[in-house]
């Protein structure tokens, strides 16, 4: 069983449902641009983003997580598949079938925060212009005075001084710039925020401040987050569920505590072993060093794409690609893994669970 809903196009609690999402890029050569191959950036991805949750999409650079997020907001049109979005009791909308004009309304409710707060903010615009621009485009204010009031409120919301609204981005630190980017993303009162590596470019201490702010805003405003990250350490205390991507596919998805303590895919086990252990009193986890390079999405190996780097690979792995199936988590939770031996391998996670690790860090 793949991770699809039992109730049709969308899960009961889903605000976004991604179904059979595919994004392939042709590889062309010569003046006649003859197609000689295809890069499978996203290859049949399925998941639900449930209302009010934080779902982390994690994997190494080039695994397809950012392309997936761009296909959700239709910044890149998928090759095939569907992205359903539902507001309250309304009928689900398939964003992949919408024209540019129709998408404007949906994009009010799904906003993105990008990785680099230095390049994502126009240096020639003031905070008033940067944060106020979406409000003006969507005609959500009627006067300049109302715009100033709304932008000042948004600056307060992200814990910035509202008197700075006529200043330019260069006057702010990296963490403050990311707060400005968050204020801009929240200006249209969205339901869903996609944070694409939103803290990766920041110092570790500043990362924690921004993660705490995002958590507070989620509770305050009832937001749903899709949190894209290359590092499992960043998301382990933030996410309700984690989806791990490798070579354009989801290879494991489950509740965060369950996935970190009882991983069911060798790739997840290796990522967990590489995450720093914050508690100096607990035994250090042995690091699993992955041999070889990340799979090339333009030239994927046969069978399981992870097999050249997997220390548990057997002959079957080289011939047959595993399906993403529910192998069942503890306490009856769903826990999906794409590994032939998910139910027999004894993989190592975080002993004692995330809460004990968190307590050790306090
Ligand atoms: Fe490793 Fe085989 Fe499982 Fe792939 S299917 S993750 S190669 S054990």
The pLDDT tens digits for 25-77 are 999 988 888 888 999 999 999 999 999 999 999 999 889 999 999 999 999 99
Classify residue 186: in a domain, yes or no.
yes
- Min mean pLDDT across 143-157, 192-206, 249-263 is at 192-206
Residues with C-beta less than 6 Å from any ligand 1 atom: 265-266, 304, 306-307, 310, 312-313, 317, 322, 339-341
Q: How far is the CA of 321 from the centre of ligand 1 (A)?
A: 9
Q: How far is the CA of 272 from the centre of ligand 1 (A)?
A: 17
User: Pick from 235, 170, 190, 181: which is nearest to 73 by CA?
Assistant: 190
Mean pLDDT, range 100-126, rounded to an integer: 89
User: Where residue 101 falls among pLDDT bands split at 50, 70, 90?
Assistant: confident
Classify residue 241: in a domain, yes or no.
no
Classify residue 24: in a domain, yes or no.
no
Mean pLDDT, range 231-239, rounded to an integer: 85
Check which CATH number belongs to the domain holding 183 and give it: 3.40.50.300
Q: How far is the CA of 311 from the centre of ligand 1 (A)?
A: 8
Q: Which of 265, 341, 342 to mutate to test the pocket of ligand 1 (most atoms within 8 A of CB)?
A: 341
Classify residue 211: in a domain, yes or no.
yes
Classify residue 306: in a domain, yes or no.
no
Q: Partners of 110 in the beta sheet?
A: 192
Classify residue 202: in a domain, yes or no.
yes
Q: How far is the CA of 257 from the centre of ligand 1 (A)?
A: 22
Classify residue 352: in a domain, yes or no.
no
Please determine, for residue 267, whether its predicted confidence score (pLDDT) is greater than 80. Answer: yes
Classify residue 136: in a domain, yes or no.
yes
Cβ atoms of residues 243 and 227 within 8 Å: no
For residue 168, report the phi and psi dihedrals to the nearest 5 degrees. -105, 160
pLDDT score recorded for residue 2: 44
Helix (H, G, I), strand (E, B) or coil at 5: coil
Domain span at residue 144? 116-219
Average pLDDT in the chain? 90
d(CA 303, CA 308): 10
What is the count of structural domains for the chain?
Answer: 1
């Amino acid at each position: 069983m793949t991770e699809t809903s039992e109730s049709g196009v969308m899960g009961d609690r889903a605000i976004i449902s991604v179904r059979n999402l595919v994004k392939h890029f042709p590889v062309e050569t010569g003046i006649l641009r003859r197609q000689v191959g295809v890069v499978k950036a996203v290859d049949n991805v399925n998941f639900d983003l449930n209302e009010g949750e934080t779902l982390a999409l994690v994997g190494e650079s080039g695994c397809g997580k950012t392309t997936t997020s761009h296909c959700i907001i239709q910044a890149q049109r998928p090759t095939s598949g569907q992205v359903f979005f539902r507001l309250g009791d309304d009928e689900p909308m398939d964003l992949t079938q919408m024209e540019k004009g129709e998408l404007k309304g949906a994009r009010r409710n799904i906003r993105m925060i990008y990785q680099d707060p230095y390049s994502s903010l126009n240096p020639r615009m003031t905070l008033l212009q940067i944060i106020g621009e979406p409000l003006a485009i969507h005609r959500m204010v009627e006067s300049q005075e109302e715009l100033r009031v709304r932008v000042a409120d948004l600056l307060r919301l992200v814990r910035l001084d509202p008197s700075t609204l006529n200043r330019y981005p260069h006057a702010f630190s990296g963490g403050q710039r990311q707060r400005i980017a968050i204020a801009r993303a929240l200006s249209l009162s969205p339901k869903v925020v996609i944070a694409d590596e939103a803290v990766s470019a920041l110092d570790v201490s500043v990362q924690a401040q921004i993660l705490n702010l995002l958590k507070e805003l989620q509770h305050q405003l009832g937001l749903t987050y899709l949190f894209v990250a290359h590092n499992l350490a960043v998301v382990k205390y933030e996410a309700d569920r984690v989806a791990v991507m490798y070579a354009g596919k989801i290879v494991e998805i489950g509740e965060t505590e369950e996935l970190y303590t009882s991983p069911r895919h060798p790739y997840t086990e290796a990522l967990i072993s590489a995450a720093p252990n914050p508690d100096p009193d607990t035994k250090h986890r042995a690091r699993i060093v992955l041999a070889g390079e990340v799979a090339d999405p333009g030239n994927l190996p046969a069978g399981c794409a992870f097999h050249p780097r997997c220390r548990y690979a057997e002959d079957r792995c080289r011939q047959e690609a595993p399906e993403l199936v529910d192998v069942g988590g503890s306490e009856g939770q769903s826990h999906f893994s794409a590994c032939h031996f998910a139910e027999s391998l004894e993989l190592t996670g975080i002993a004692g669970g995330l809460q004990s690790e968190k307590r050790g860090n306090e």
